[in-house]
């Protein structure tokens, strides 16, 4: 409260001095309009600093992990100041793809074969110019998993790669993650002596958590981070089917999914009714007609139950940090497994009051960096450099 009072006094004083100067030079011709502006500005500043800018809630299952994060990843305990003119969840979600920059990244592509004869595409950023880790065999490696319909060209993926480059790390992005375990073991076989971490965004984070929940501590990964994960697929679907959310997000994502599978229509016609799939009006309808069928589930409820990472959180066996915003319409707050997280010493939930879905915009013009970026950078660096403290 002392910090809030100081911020308000400073802001009020600066506004008063500025506006008094404008009155003297004839701005608006009188001080009446400026008094209104001053009053509104102070009121908005008070509302923003008292109700919008807040420290995230840090939920951990053990005191050791909590102290580790406070010492080496302090961003998770600092006040998050959402962009002052766009702090609401839907606004942040919609704005982020258009306002954030896309750092240039030159990838090296690798195709690996799966046991069933398929192929998985990996986009590598080798960072051979790293001055911190010049030995490629021990250069920290980070697997990045994008969200639904996402690719290695997403702005949030590019920012993670840029931050990893600054740290001297090597990264690779895998958008086709049906066989995540194959990808992880393939990369580990290439660099068995390198610290190995993973970060998943939205659907990518769900796949990562499900993998970790199934395999426990028997994974080559030393740590992982997830961002804007949907914890309960049923709750996510219900939230996205609310009229405004359907209009802003659900229908658009459904058309993206339809466009994606329609490009390879000839591959699916024997297994699903593609005409019926193309008439889906929501993600749930698409999943019922296509996804659940292709993955061999009897019903969509079976698929959604298996896809939800919340029940498997208790079995995660390596340090995992999960960042979510409680105003994320893709992942409603009531479905976040706070009590389950408290029972696993390897898990930390970082819950912000605002930030939307993969938004977390901050600053007046949030083009270069987001709160999510800062959490990612500090956490992976903390684990690479100080992870032994958790052993």
pLDDT tens digits, residue range 9-45?
Answer: 554 555 455 445 544 444 444 566 677 788 778 888 8
Give SS3 for 224.
Answer: strand
Q: Give the N- to C-terminal CA distance of the chain in Å, as an integer.
A: 37
| 69/148 same-domain check | yes
| 281/357 same-domain check | no
Question: Which among 258, 283, 304 is the end of a domain?
Answer: 304
- Is 35 within the bounds of a domain? no
- Is 25 within the bounds of a domain? no
| 280/375 same-domain check | no
- The rounded distance, in Å, linking the Cα atoms of 303 and 295 is 8
- Is 16 within the bounds of a domain? no
Structure tokens at 132: 């911190």
- Is 67 within the bounds of a domain? yes
| 129/61 same-domain check | yes
By annotation, the residues acting in catalysis are: 202, 328, 357
| 241/220 same-domain check | no
| 108/253 same-domain check | no
- Is 40 within the bounds of a domain? no
pLDDT of residue 31: 61
| 189/214 same-domain check | yes
Question: Which among 283, 304, 325 is the end of a domain?
Answer: 304
The model carries a pTM of 0.89
Structure tokens at 138: 């021990």
For the chain, helix (H) and strand (E) counts, in that order, are 17, 9
pLDDT of residue 27: 46
What residues are paired with 124 via a beta bridge? 108, 172
| 142/280 same-domain check | no
Q: How many structural domains is the chain composed of?
A: 2
| 114/213 same-domain check | yes
| 106/67 same-domain check | yes
Q: pLDDT by residue (tens digit) across 269-302?
A: 889 999 999 999 999 999 999 999 998 999 999 9
pLDDT of residue 17: 54
Q: What is the CATH number of the domain that holds 169?
A: 3.40.50.1820
| 243/345 same-domain check | no
pLDDT of residue 15: 47
Would you state the torsion angle of the CA atoms of residues 173, 177, 179, 181, taken in this order, to the nearest 10 degrees? 50
pLDDT of residue 174: 83
- Is 28 within the bounds of a domain? no
Distance set, CA 282 to CA 204, 271, 291, 292, 371 (Å): 20, 20, 13, 14, 30
Residue 268 domain boundaries: 234-304
- Is 36 within the bounds of a domain? no
| 209/319 same-domain check | yes
- Is 327 within the bounds of a domain? yes
Question: Which among 304, 319, 337 is the end of a domain?
Answer: 304
Which residues in the chain show pLDDT less than 70?
1-33, 176-178
Alpha helices in the chain (DSSP H): 2-24, 31-47, 63-72, 89-99, 155-167, 180-190, 203-215, 233-240, 243-245, 251-262, 265-268, 274-277, 283-286, 292-294, 300-307, 338-341, 371-386
């Amino acid at each position: 409260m002392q910090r809030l009072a100081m911020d308000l006094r400073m802001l009020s004083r600066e506004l008063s001095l500025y506006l008094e100067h404008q009155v003297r030079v004839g701005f608006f011709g009188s001080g009446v309009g400026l008094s209104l502006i001053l009053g509104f500005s102070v009121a908005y500043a008070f509302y923003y600093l008292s109700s919008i800018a807040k420290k995230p809630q840090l939920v951990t299952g053990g005191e050791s992990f909590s102290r580790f994060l406070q010492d080496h990843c302090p961003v998770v305990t600092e006040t998050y100041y959402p962009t002052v003119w766009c702090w609401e969840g839907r606004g942040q979600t919609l704005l982020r793809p258009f306002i954030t920059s896309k750092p240039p990244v030159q990838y090296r592509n690798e195709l690996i074969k799966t046991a069933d004869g398929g192929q998985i595409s990996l986009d590598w950023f080798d960072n051979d110019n790293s001055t911190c880790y010049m030995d490629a065999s021990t250069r920290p490696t980070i697997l990045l998993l994008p969200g639904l319909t996402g690719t290695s060209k997403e702005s949030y993926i590019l920012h993670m790669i840029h931050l990893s480059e600054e740290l001297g790390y090597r990264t690779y992005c895998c958008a086709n993650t049906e066989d995540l375990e194959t990808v992880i073991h393939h990369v580990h076989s290439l660099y068995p002596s390198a610290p190995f971490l993973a970060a998943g965004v939205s659907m990518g984070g769900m796949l990562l958590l499900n993998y970790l929940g199934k395999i426990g501590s028997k994974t080559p990964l030393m740590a992982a981070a997830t961002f804007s994960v949907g914890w309960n697929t049923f709750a996510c679907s219900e939230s996205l089917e609310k009229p405004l959310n359907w209009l802003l997000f659900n229908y658009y994502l459904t058309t993206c999914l339809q466009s994606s599978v329609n490009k390879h229509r000839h591959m699916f016609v024997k297994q699903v009714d593609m005409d019926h799939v193309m008439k889906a009006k929501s993600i749930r309808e698409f999943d019922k007609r296509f996804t659940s069928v292709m993955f061999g589930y009897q019903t969509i409820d079976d698929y959604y139950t298996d896809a939800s990472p919340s029940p498997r959180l208790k079995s995660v066996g390596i340090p995992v940090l999960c960042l979510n915003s409680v105003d994320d319409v893709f992942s409603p707050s009531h479905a976040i497994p706070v009590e389950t997280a408290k029972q696993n010493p390897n898990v930390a939930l970082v819950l912000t009051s605002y930030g939307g879905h993969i938004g977390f915009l901050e600053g007046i013009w949030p083009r270069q960096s987001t709160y999510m970026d800062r959490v990612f950078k500090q956490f992976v660096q903390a684990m690479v450099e100080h992870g032994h403290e958790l052993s």
